[in-house]
Amino acid sequence: MLSFILCKVAIVNNKEVILPYEDEDWETNENTQGLPFDSNNFSIKSIPSLYYDLFLSYKIEREDLKGYSLDTKIALNAITPIVTDLEKLNIEIEEQKFDYLITTKGGKLKKAQLENYTIKDFEKLIKEKIKDNYIYEMSELREYKVIKFNVIIELEVLYSKEKVKCQITLHYQPEENKLKLITFF
C-alpha cells in the first residue's frame, strides 16, 4: 500500500492548468506532462517544481501499517543498496546543531511550540513522527559520503486549528544504526 498523496500531475483552475516545471524559469509555460490540455481549450501555466512541490502538492501523513512500508524501502533503495527499517535507527542530534537550532531557529521552534524541548525531546519527536510519514528529496553527496533525505512533520499547536509543518533533513547512516539531524526548519 502506498502512501496517500495529492499527485503533482496538474492542478486545474477554471480553464487554466498549473504544471510543475523543472527549471527556475517563470516565463516558461510548457506542457511538461504531454497531456492534451491545449486540444481541450486549457491554457497552461508552469511554475518551478520547487514551489509547486512545496505549496501545491502534499502527501498525507499516515500511520505506517505493519507490513505495508514498502514505499519507504523502495525510496531508500533508490539511493543506497543498504535498506534498514527507519524505526529501528537511533536519532542523533549533535549538541552544536541543537545550540544552533535554539539560537538561530528560535522563531520556528516557538511557532511549533518546541522552544522548551531538550535534545532528547527532539530525538523522541523525530523518532515518533518518522514512522507516520514519508521520505523525499533523497540524495547522495558522494564528496562528503552523505546519504540524506527530508521528512515533513506536522505538529498540533494550542494556538491554532492548523498544524505547523516542519521540514527535517536526516543523514541516513544504517551501518552506524542512526539517522543524524542535518537541518530542521
Write the pLDDT tens digit of every residue in 53-76: 777 766 555 565 665 567 778 878
Whole-prediction pTM: 0.66
Within 10 angstroms of residue 23's Cβ, the number of other Cβ atoms is 12
Write the pLDDT tens digit of every residue in 70-111: 777 887 888 889 999 888 999 999 999 999 988 888 888 888
Same-domain pairing of 40 and 116: no
Residues spanned by the domain of 105: 64-184
- The residue from 34, 58, 82 where one domain ends is 58
Same-domain pairing of 91 and 43: no
Instruction: Give which of 162, 166, 140 is closest to 152, Cα–Cα.
Output: 166
Grid coordinates of 29? 509555460
Q: In the chain, how many domains are there? A: 2
Same-domain pairing of 82 and 127: yes
